[in-house]
Structure 1
Amino acid sequence: MKKPQSDEDTALSQSGEARSFIEVGDWSALTNLITEHAPSLLAEGHHESLAGWLDAMPAKLRDDQSWLCYWTGACMVPRDLDGARRWFERAFDTFEADPDPEGLYLSWASIIDTLFLERGDFSPMRRWISIGEQLLDRHPLPPGEIEGRVTSAMFTALMHSEPAHPRIGEWAHRLADLLVHVPDDNARILMGASLVVYYTRWLGEHGHAEMVLEQFAGSRERREQLAPLARIMLMLLECTCHWNRCEIDEANAATQEGLETAERTGVHQLGFLLRAQPVYICLGIGDLTGAEHKLAELRKLLPRSAAIEQAHWHYLAAWHDMERGEPHAANERLEECMQLVSKDSAPFQH
């Protein structure tokens, strides 16, 4: 009996085909290979392989084809969010020129995702919310994965740039209903992450948050197969829920697993948030010495951190000052927060 191919065997076979097409300059065949296999390659974490195929193509050919622009952006998400967003915007424009609803919706959702993960300035999300609403008026939302991606992106954009939007609760309920039907573990985690934060930090509905989180967990074997970004996000969310329940050892273990995954894979988009969790834990249990040590470690990241993350550090430092009985120092920290983050750039954090 012939042994079935593993995901790795399949990826190697496709790499061999791609090399052959590149060597003879058969760009049409390479385009077809990319179009057919890009989703599965990215789901398995083969971003660099796919990026190599795309980089080998003549620039004009690649840059003029909407789906090739989209997949180029998707390859860059783990290492260059700003660069990825530029490719998604280019893809969106080319899909708009020759209307392709699926491509438009996926490009739109990916632009929102990069703005969220970058955690720099959320104000551009408002423009994209408006564009998304216009898309919904013009094109029926395709069911399945695209509906889930768009619903998640719209909810995330509203949460971080228009938290007072009258329909934010409607989008939250819609997302919660859709998550149970998402078959892919990676997609389900990344789509539902903002919903967990919404239930815990906004509404204080920890039971609802844990119900969502239970859909992510699965077996240890399934966790091992997660793409790095999804696994790191899962560890971050689990840590938050553990320290909300005062489960300190479990919270620390989740943080450590997330940090080890980031270090091993080079995926660092959530590094600041991960390293902030031990500060929350120490402050929550009154370990001011431990909090001071963790704050000092976290501060080393500030020179290369976005303004929102710098404000986050000052917020934690202010909490530490208050616990030490230094309200004036805490007030100075909070004033620094207000200068770093405006109501326009990050109304939720402000």
Structure 2
Amino acid sequence: DVMPNSRAPQVVFDYLAGEIFQNFDERTRRLLLKTAFVPEMTSAMAERFTGDSGAGEILATLHRGHHFVYLKAGGTDSIYQYHPLLREFLRARAAESLSPSEYRALRRTSVHVLEADGEVEEAAALLREDTDFHALKHLALEHAPDMLAHGRAETLETWLDEIPDEILDTDPWCFHWKAACRFASAPRESRLLYERVFKGFEDEGASQGSGQLLACAGAMDAIIHELDDLSLLDPWIERATVLLTKASPGTGADSGAVARAAVSLFVALVFRQPQNPDMKKWAERAFGCVGELSDTNARLSAQLLMAITLNYTGQFGRVRELIDVMRRTCQSPDVTPLALTVLKDVESMYFMLTADHEQCLQAVFDGVDIGQASGVNLWRYHLLSNGAAAALGAGDLVSAEELLEKMHAHREGARRLDRCSYHYYRSWLAMLRRDVVEAHQEQKTALRLAIESGCPFYEVLCRLALAEIFHELADERRTISNLRRARRLARGIDNRLMEYMAFSTYAHIALAHGRTRSGLNALRYAFGLGRDHGFTHFMWWQPRVMAELCVHALESGIEVDYVRNLIRSRELMPDVSPVTVDEWPWPIRIRSFGEFQVFKQGQPLGTGAKPQQKPVELLKALVAFGAMDVKERDLAAELWPRIDADYAHRSLTTTLHRLRKILAHDRAIGLKHGRLSLDPSCCWLDVHALECVLNEIDETLGYTRPRPPETLVTHLADGLFEIYRGPFMASEGDQPRYASARERFRNKFLRAASELARYWEEKQRWDQVARLYARGLEVDALAEGFYRRLMLCYRQLGRHAEAVDVYDNCRRALATERDAAPSPETTAIYQSVVEALGEDSDTQHYG
């Protein structure tokens, strides 16, 4: 049956109820009066109220007789309810017919039965009606842990707020639970209450060790959730340290309180005193204690705070494990909205710091939605800041701007450290846009807020960012000042992620200032940390800077495998294309000097298969035409000269699609405004690399330049011969589209090799000269000038027989390839060598 919503006129119902009530037998009337204060009951509850084993049958009879008794559920768990007007009548009749002491006893019995059957809120309602605040206090204290565990903090707080302070003051636990109720919505008020709680327990002596530990834990957690002035943690850290050091059997501290305090102390140390010499000891104790927390929300809260600290210190493997555990825990319906929101904050921070942009944003929006639905928005700002950081790290400046605007819209409720992060990310955005002046203004504000909040970690972040900014502004004094302050703050802090960021920053600045040795040492340490801990991101990530550091690392052989993986995963590319850096992991490499070769992710791509011939021919033509901004119509006309222009264009479009599919890289070949280009950010082309080396040789060996060191010239020569491995498109014969480019590149190569040889000739290092010309002839056997210079070099070294061999090689090569003989100039040098060889023989004969 369903209870009707209509209510009969009061006067009529009073009359009917009176007539009905009087017609019941004494046993039924006694049942009705004794259950008057219970909104609903089972048969078992009715039996306990009355002591009548037949109470359930009486209720069933009243229900069947339609005597304003309604059945909510059938079966063994039948629940009966009185019509509201009948209940009002019965309450009034009880007050009239019972003595005051009997009436009070009936209500007290009702409270006890309701509490025993789990109807705690109904029991509290009776006590509140009676203004029995002492009993209400005991009821609240008895059921507070369970109510908080099931997300009923607001109800508990309402009860405690109604109890006068003079009654609450008799037991510090009252204010402990009041502080716990305020924690999610008002952490500042919660902290102030915990101070009162700690003083109350302290006055009660050593027997209240659990209370003092929980007060310490609650206060520290509230300060961290408040994120306003972390210096407030200092006295609590001291108190918790003393209490936990003494905590042992017999001190009155249970294992749950010890575990809570140990976790909170560890988290407080990470935020406020990361350089504490006992940090490692407390970390181990905290991790060992978490499992001892039996309460789901308490355990989850501890795990969440630990996960946040592990994120800050770069221990991502442990964070991932905790996230998986906490996700399973959060499937329970008893988990509070605050815990669910903080879990999303932990997830978003983890994904941000591990460079997973998309998953971070998903966690951010999920967390914001949970907060909006529940009204618990304490972590909304921090969630949005994680999203902004992820977008900045991914180079998605549009999304970053949108998220920063949302943060600005909610600035009224922002905590001080949240505001610090807002200005920090604003500065980061400006720096990525190359607006150094705005970056400086925003970062100054962020630093001020970091100092005011008392968080060393954030101050280090801000000072490292300012060092980068002042470096860009060419202010060396303030660059060094901020680096030194960051180093002083970070000294003693066991934080590998911070070290990775700090040493990377120092390496960049030192190398830019020409301090190569210290810069490379810092880079070696930073990238060693990156390899060991799998770091691929940090806050203030500057792709341009990291790409430059990767170039230095590869050129110096520093952590090559790690660096190559970092470049791939973060798609790094410096402003100046690293075409001369051998170890740079280009997705696609194209060689056109000597044999035409294409490499995809380091593996050779077969170019001879018949289905691939036309796409490969298109790629060859694109390279021959310069590889950049090549007109579609020129390529179409070159590859399909005998068909009309429209059909040729359609054929080009189809072939381009096939070529992109073969290369398997979306950006490899771009098409814009009717022009095709190889993307220099993902395609390495030996033609471009040769131009870079030629320019460097020209700049190094120009006549107005001072003589460079021998090591640099040797390096340039190695680079030249590594790139130029033979004639351009050597296997393509004399096709017109390749011939002119082939001759142009050959002449550039011969000129550059001659410049390098001249350097060694001026130093009279004839062994180096000979080696260089010999390498030149390996890639161009028709360079007659190289044969002449090599013969002269051997003559200078007295190696006349080898000089003769060089002439013989020259004669054979020219005869075979060109059906020609050596020039008179070459022959004249040969004759002089032969004469010198004869003189050598005479000397040996008469010697």
Q: Normalized against structure 1, the TM-score is what?
A: 0.90
Bigger CA drift: 105-114 or 131-140? Answer: 131-140
The one-letter code of the counterpart of 1:127 is P
Higher helix share: 1
Partner in structure 1 of residue 138 of structure 2 = 32
Partner in structure 1 of residue 125 of structure 2 = 19
Higher strand share: 2
Q: Which of 115, 127, 130 pairs up with 2:235?
A: 127
Partner in structure 2 of residue 309 of structure 1 = 418
Question: Measured at CA, do residues 169 and 268 of structure 1 come closer, stay the same or move farther in structure 2, by a change above 3 Å?
Answer: same
The one-letter code of the counterpart of 2:138 is N
- 3-state DSSP of counterpart to 1:126: helix
Partner in structure 2 of residue 348 of structure 1 = 457
- 3-state DSSP of counterpart to 1:267: coil
8 A contact 2:198–2:211 mirrored in 1 = yes
1:263-282 correspondence to structure 2 within 5 Å: 263-282=372-391
Partner in structure 1 of residue 446 of structure 2 = 337
State how far apart, in whole Å, the 2-side matches of 1:257 and 1:122 are: 28
The one-letter code of the counterpart of 2:455 is A
Bigger CA drift: 336-345 or 143-152? Answer: 336-345
What runs of 5+ residues in structure 1 fail to find an aligned partner?
A: none
State how far apart, in whole Å, the 2-side matches of 1:66 and 1:112 are: 18
Q: Following TM superposition, by how much is the alpha carbon of 1:137 offset from its aligned partner in structure 2, in angstroms?
A: 4.6
Q: Following TM superposition, by how much is the alpha carbon of 1:62 offset from its aligned partner in structure 2, in angstroms?
A: 1.4
Over residues 188-213 of structure 1, what are the superposed CA-to-partner deviations in whole Å (9 max), with x where a residue is unaligned? 232123332333332x2311221222
The one-letter code of the counterpart of 1:52 is T
8 A contact 1:175–1:192 mirrored in 2 = no
State how far apart, in whole Å, the 2-side matches of 1:153 and 1:220 are: 21
State how far apart, in whole Å, the 1-side matches of 2:203 and 2:359 are: 51
Q: Following TM superposition, by how much is the alpha carbon of 1:54 offset from its aligned partner in structure 2, in angstroms?
A: 1.0
Structure of greater relative contact order (alpha carbons < 8 Å, 6+ residues apart) = 1
- 3-state DSSP of counterpart to 1:272: helix
Question: Measured at CA, do residues 129 and 226 of structure 1 come closer, stay the same or move farther in structure 2, by a change above 3 Å?
Answer: same
Which one has the largest radius of gyration?
A: 2
Q: Following TM superposition, by how much is the alpha carbon of 1:176 offset from its aligned partner in structure 2, in angstroms?
A: 1.9
Q: Does 1:182 align with 2:293?
A: yes
Partner in structure 2 of residue 171 of structure 1 = 282
- 3-state DSSP of counterpart to 2:223: helix
Q: Following TM superposition, by how much is the alpha carbon of 1:183 offset from its aligned partner in structure 2, in angstroms?
A: 3.8
Over residues 128-162 of structure 1, what are the superposed CA-to-partner deviations in whole Å (9 max), with x where a residue is unaligned? 11122232355437343212210111112111111
1:286-325 correspondence to structure 2 within 5 Å: 286-325=395-434
Over residues 216-262 of structure 1, what are the superposed CA-to-partner deviations in whole Å (9 max), with x where a residue is unaligned? 1107733x542011111111111222334444443222222211111
Q: Which of 425, 437, 442 pairs up with 1:328?
A: 437
State how far apart, in whole Å, the 2-side matches of 1:133 and 1:181 are: 19
The one-letter code of the counterpart of 1:209 is V
Partner in structure 1 of residue 319 of structure 2 = 209
8 A contact 1:64–1:94 mirrored in 2 = no
Q: Does 1:234 align with 2:340?
A: no
State how far apart, in whole Å, the 1-side matches of 2:376 and 2:119 are: 26
State how far apart, in whole Å, the 1-side matches of 2:361 and 2:385 are: 11
Q: Does 1:108 align with 2:219?
A: no
Question: Measured at CA, do residues 103 and 2 of structure 1 come closer, stay the same or move farther in structure 2, by a change above 3 Å?
Answer: farther
Partner in structure 1 of residue 265 of structure 2 = 154
The one-letter code of the counterpart of 2:266 is F
Q: Which of 58, 61, 67 pairs up with 2:167?
A: 61
State how far apart, in whole Å, the 1-side matches of 2:155 and 2:265 are: 30
What runs of 5+ residues in structure 2 fail to find an aligned partner?
A: 1-74, 80-114, 460-847
Partner in structure 2 of residue 197 of structure 1 = 308
- 3-state DSSP of counterpart to 1:123: helix
Partner in structure 2 of residue 73 of structure 1 = 179
Over residues 65-97 of structure 1, what are the superposed CA-to-partner deviations in whole Å (9 max), with x where a residue is unaligned? 211111111111122112122221111111111
8 A contact 1:67–1:103 mirrored in 2 = yes
Over residues 11-30 of structure 1, what are the superposed CA-to-partner deviations in whole Å (9 max), with x where a residue is unaligned? 98111101112222333322
Question: Measured at CA, do residues 172 and 71 of structure 1 come closer, stay the same or move farther in structure 2, by a change above 3 Å?
Answer: same
8 A contact 1:186–1:227 mirrored in 2 = yes
State how far apart, in whole Å, the 2-side matches of 1:57 and 1:158 are: 37
- 3-state DSSP of counterpart to 1:226: coil
State how far apart, in whole Å, the 1-side matches of 2:356 and 2:244 are: 43
State how far apart, in whole Å, the 1-side matches of 2:155 and 2:390 are: 39
State how far apart, in whole Å, the 2-side matches of 1:235 and 1:168 are: 27
Give RMSD over aligned pairs.
Answer: 2.5
Bigger CA drift: 251-260 or 89-98? Answer: 251-260
8 A contact 2:233–2:272 mirrored in 1 = yes
State how far apart, in whole Å, the 1-side matches of 2:440 and 2:380 are: 27
Q: Following TM superposition, by how much is the alpha carbon of 1:60 offset from its aligned partner in structure 2, in angstroms?
A: 1.2
Question: Measured at CA, do residues 170 and 214 of structure 1 come closer, stay the same or move farther in structure 2, by a change above 3 Å?
Answer: farther
- 3-state DSSP of counterpart to 1:166: coil
Question: Measured at CA, do residues 298 and 233 of structure 1 come closer, stay the same or move farther in structure 2, by a change above 3 Å?
Answer: same
Q: Which of 357, 360, 373 pairs up with 1:251?
A: 360
8 A contact 2:266–2:283 mirrored in 1 = yes
Count of matched residue pairs: 345
Bigger CA drift: 39-48 or 176-185? Answer: 176-185
The one-letter code of the counterpart of 1:121 is D
Bigger CA drift: 232-241 or 25-34? Answer: 25-34
- 3-state DSSP of counterpart to 1:218: helix
Question: Measured at CA, do residues 339 and 240 of structure 1 come closer, stay the same or move farther in structure 2, by a change above 3 Å?
Answer: closer
State how far apart, in whole Å, the 1-side matches of 2:154 and 2:179 are: 12
Question: Measured at CA, do residues 200 and 85 of structure 1 come closer, stay the same or move farther in structure 2, by a change above 3 Å?
Answer: closer
The one-letter code of the counterpart of 1:173 is E
State how far apart, in whole Å, the 1-side matches of 2:330 and 2:183 are: 26
The one-letter code of the counterpart of 1:280 is A
Q: Following TM superposition, by how much is the alpha carbon of 1:10 offset from its aligned partner in structure 2, in angstroms?
A: 9.5
- 3-state DSSP of counterpart to 2:224: helix
8 A contact 1:295–1:317 mirrored in 2 = yes
Q: Which of 99, 117, 133 pairs up with 2:225?
A: 117
State how far apart, in whole Å, the 1-side matches of 2:210 and 2:311 are: 32
8 A contact 1:172–1:195 mirrored in 2 = no
The one-letter code of the counterpart of 1:291 is A
Over residues 261-281 of structure 1, what are the superposed CA-to-partner deviations in whole Å (9 max), with x where a residue is unaligned? 111111122121111122122
State how far apart, in whole Å, the 2-side matches of 1:13 and 1:143 are: 29
The one-letter code of the counterpart of 1:187 is A
8 A contact 1:239–1:250 mirrored in 2 = yes
The one-letter code of the counterpart of 1:286 is G
Question: Measured at CA, do residues 66 and 2 of structure 1 come closer, stay the same or move farther in structure 2, by a change above 3 Å?
Answer: farther
